[in-house]
């Protein structure tokens, strides 16, 4: 199945949980599916996978973003991203 756009999952974790999260994502990449917070993202054909951890008080905001190629014909059009749940412009 060809995927287009990007998929993003965000959630809070403690700083102590961060190393295990990164390790778990790496292990899941080998299987071809990343599952976080009850959401599964098949990564076949991905262009990039980004993991960001941002400190918010005593917790971290974890964000995992998987980008896929743009849909043919969508170049330069707004709204080409699917399921961009984080609401930012990147």
Residues 30-80: pLDDT tens digits? 999 999 999 999 999 999 999 999 999 999 999 999 999 998 877 655 444
Q: What are the angstrom distances between the C-alpha of 47 and each of 17, 50, 57, 61, 78?
A: 27, 10, 32, 23, 19
What one-character DSSP code corresponds to residue 1?
A: -
The predicted model scores a pTM of 0.74
| 88 has a pLDDT exceeding 60 | no
Q: Where are the alpha helices (DSSP H) in the chain?
A: 18-31
Split at pLDDT 50, 70, 90, the class of 84 is low
Name the more confident of 51 and 89: 51
| 27 has a pLDDT exceeding 70 | yes
Please report, to the nearest 10 degrees, the dihedral formed by the alpha carbons of residues 29, 31, 38, 24 taken in order: -50
């Amino acid at each position: 199945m060809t995927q287009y756009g990007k998929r993003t999952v965000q959630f809070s974790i403690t700083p102590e949980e961060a190393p295990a999260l990164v390790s778990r994502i790496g292990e899941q990449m080998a299987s071809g599916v990343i599952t976080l917070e009850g959401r599964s993202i098949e990564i076949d054909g991905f262009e990039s996978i980004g993991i960001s951890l941002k400190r918010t008080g005593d917790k971290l905001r974890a964000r995992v973003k998987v980008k896929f190629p743009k849909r043919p014909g969508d170049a330069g059009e707004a709204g080409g991203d699917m399921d961009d749940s984080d609401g930012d412009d990147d």
